[in-house]
Amino acid sequence: MGFIFKDADNKPVDPKAARTRAILLSLPVALMGLFALVLLVHDGLLGGLNRQHAMGLLSAACVCGGLIALIFAITAKKQALQTKVVKNDDEKPWLKRTDWAVGRITSSSRKAVLLLWIIVAFWCLASAVISLVVVPPQLHQGNHAALITLIFPVIGLAIIFYARNTTRAWRTFGRSIFAMAAVPAAPGGTLAGEIQVKNRLQPQHGLHLRLSCVRRTTTGKSNNRQVNEKILWQDEKWLRADLPQTDVNATGIPIFFNLPGHLPEAAAATGDGIHWKLEASAKLRGPDFYAAFDVPVFKLPETPAPADDPTIPFQMSLDEVRQQIHSNIQVNDLAGGGKEFIFPAARNPGFASGATVVCVIWTGIIAVLFWNRAPLPFLLVFGAIDLLMTAFVLDLWFRRSRVTVNPSGVTVQRAWLTFKKEQRLQTGEIKSIATDVGATAGHSAYHDLKVHARDGREYILAKHLNNKPEADWLVREMITALKRPV
């Protein structure tokens, strides 16, 4: 049992050594499982796979996956047993984590880099084997549908490029530390402190700060689990590049966010539950800077009194923010009072391009299923999902809006290519104008601009605004135009 549990009088295992040992132990098992999957795909495409052989290969792959999960589960269990738990942690759950208890949280960039290169290695190995073993025989037999598998090496090249840039950034900046001013932060209070970077940052423009409240859930069975994250709330700030510094070889980034009182508190565990994530990023001449921290947000018997925001003197004005994000939303004054807001199509080319790539891959999968005469129920389900994805992609590329606001009311005109639809709301019908989290991509939230009517209905003025400060400014400008006296 010494492999699973360690005696209390033994020296605790170093977490880095434990992770390295788990990876080395699981690597041969992973290679065997990957080989079984490659044989399964290869023999299946060649048509020489009987039921008994297929079940044997699939069972071998599942057993290998289970062994890998067991190895990492044992490692995680040993580390959990060695973690120091402070007394009264039921009343103060943030004390369950040592970094939260002391208020010095280390960025998770190193773990992300290691995991990323493991993914790169397995992806490239599987892509190379499939491309060299499966594609040539299929082309020789005239099965040109096998060429679709070449998309996997292309994706592998993109992942390698991303992993290379991420590694360069980690080697340049190392681990960053978020030193909290008070532990924990409380809903209805503030999150304050300083991010300490062991390098001198010289951003080309400014520093982007983002705080998110995310609900993480895991669905599916043990062999087909899916992790979903939903952003419940998000706030952003832009700070100028010329922050005052006391150390020529380090950078201190001041942090201050007001927290809404209605949001849930964080989960002490790293799995499912609520997670509060603080992110800082900056565009540099070399590798870009990025650091992320899981921060403790818990309810307290008494919410601390609100404090002054020390970052106000360093925050960018809206004009500066709009210049940095290259906003193409047009705001024009109208004769006789009021304003016009023009939201052009394809405002977020990066988001739209990523969604398009996913849609194309999904469509390719459906084409392969149809080519191989998959059962009709599978085609119908996959086809329905593909139609929804296609509609979403077309909305990203071609939807545009024109909103006119004056003291008499709000007029919104939506258009898709040549199709147009117009709605008019009188001032007396409008309860409020606000933003809401719409689509999400990773930890980035895209906000929708909505009118809340007094009868309970909602009307979308614009979708997929990718910058929270600009979205809040647009709301303020619309409310000002709506209440402006004639």
Model confidence over 320-351: pLDDT tens digits?
Answer: 777 777 778 888 888 777 889 998 888 888 77
- For 410-453, write each residue's pLDDT tens digit: 888 888 877 888 888 888 888 888 888 777 766 677 888 888 88
Are the CB atoms for 435 and 469 separated by under 8 Å?
no
Question: Do strands 273-282 and 104-106 pair parallel, antiparallel, or not at all (unpaired)?
Answer: unpaired
pTM comes to 0.63
| Residue ranges per structural domain of the chain | 1-83, 339-483
**Beta-bridge mates of residue 105:** 178
- For 130-174, write each residue's pLDDT tens digit: 777 767 777 777 776 666 667 777 777 888 887 887 788 777 777
Of residues 286 and 101, more confidently modeled: 101
The pLDDT value recorded for residue 137 is 76
What's the longest Cα–Cα distance across the chain? 82
Count of CB atoms situated within 10 Å of the CB of 359: 19
User: Residue 458 and residue 460: Cα distance in Å, rounded?
Assistant: 7
CA distances from 170 to 106, 198, 413 (A): 13, 11, 46
Nearest to 298 by CA among 392, 412, 422, 182: 182
- With a cut of 60, say whether residue 59 has pLDDT above it: yes
CATH classification number, 339-483, choose in 2.60.120, 1.20.120, 3.40.50, 2.30.29? 2.30.29
Task: Give the model's confidence band at 232: pLDDT under 50 very low, under 70 low, under 90 confident, else very high.
Answer: confident
**Beta-bridge mates of residue 440:** 445
- For 399-418, write each residue's pLDDT tens digit: 888 999 888 888 888 888 77
What's the DSSP call for residue 369? H
User: How confident is the prediction for the chain on average, in pLDDT?
Assistant: 78
Task: Give the model's confidence band at 486: pLDDT under 50 very low, under 70 low, under 90 confident, else very high.
Answer: very low
CA distances from 476 to 78, 150, 402, 431, 435 (A): 53, 50, 17, 14, 11
Nearest to 181 by CA among 195, 196, 193: 193
Our CA angle for 440, 378, 356, nearest 5°, is 35
Residue located via tokens 């290379």:
164
Task: Give the model's confidence band at 50: pLDDT under 50 very low, under 70 low, under 90 confident, else very high.
Answer: low
The pLDDT value recorded for residue 247 is 78
Residue located via tokens 């023009």:
342
Structure token pair of residue 73: 């589960």
